[in-house]
Amino acid sequence: MADLDGRQALAHVLVVNDAEVLARLRLSAAEAARVCGVTPRQLIYWTKKGLIRPSPDNDHDFDVFAMEKTIRIRKALEKGHSLEKAAQIAEGDMAALSAEVDRLSALPAAELEGELRRRLERLEDRLGGLRQVLPSSLGLARLRRAVALLARIEAQGQLAAASDGDGTKAFTLRLGRAVDELETLIREAPVTA
């Protein structure tokens, strides 16, 4: 278990150009399914139904955005939604993410970095409040991973100056995933009187 956590921490440190890696990443259906926590059969079925689009470069490969949508569909299904409703929820999430990417891409580099810094500060404030109410049994490892990701994003302020949309998209996607993780922890946290 400690070896796995160490490998994950090392992976976060080693991938310096992760925005470029994410933008170029393509996985086969079997690999993408494994990464997304679904079966290859589910992924292929969802693709045939038009819920997931394979990579524009190859009909048999899936890019990070297709995988993100797959994960969001899986999470909505886990909450009890039908496949159609889960796909609608995921599509709405992806549309909101795309709109946010467009908005952030239009900001000058200094404003973008300021915006992301303010978001990080709000998350850190919420995290401070969570530390007071979270029992240790609530998977603090998940919380540590989310915090480590946010710290790494903040440390890579040079991403804010990237002029290409792909870097900003990948950056926003990672930030969104970190926010989702923290919000899940907030929802799971017991209410104390």
Average predicted confidence (pLDDT) for the chain = 74
- Do residues 96 and 116 both lie within one domain? no
120 and 93 inside one domain: no
Same-domain status, 97 and 121: no
Lowest mean pLDDT among 38-52, 70-84, 164-178: 164-178
The whole-number pLDDT of residue 162 equals: 45
pTM: 0.55
User: Across the strands, what pairs with 63?
Assistant: 26
Note whether 190 and 114 are same-domain residues. Answer: yes
Whether 39 is in a domain gets the answer yes
- Whether 31 has a pLDDT exceeding 60, the answer reads yes
Domain that holds residue 143: 108-193
Residues of the chain with pLDDT > 90, as a percent, come to 23
For residue 6, being part of any structural domain is answered with: no
Please state the domain count of the chain: 2
Q: CATH number of the domain that 74 lies in?
A: 1.10.1660.10
Q: Are residues 95 and 144 in the same domain?
A: no
- Between residues 110 and 157, the one the model is more confident about: 110
Predicted pLDDT of residue 128: 75
Confidence at residue 158, expressed as pLDDT on a 0 to 100 scale: 46
Residue 120 and residue 56 share a domain: no
% residues pLDDT > 70 (the chain): 54
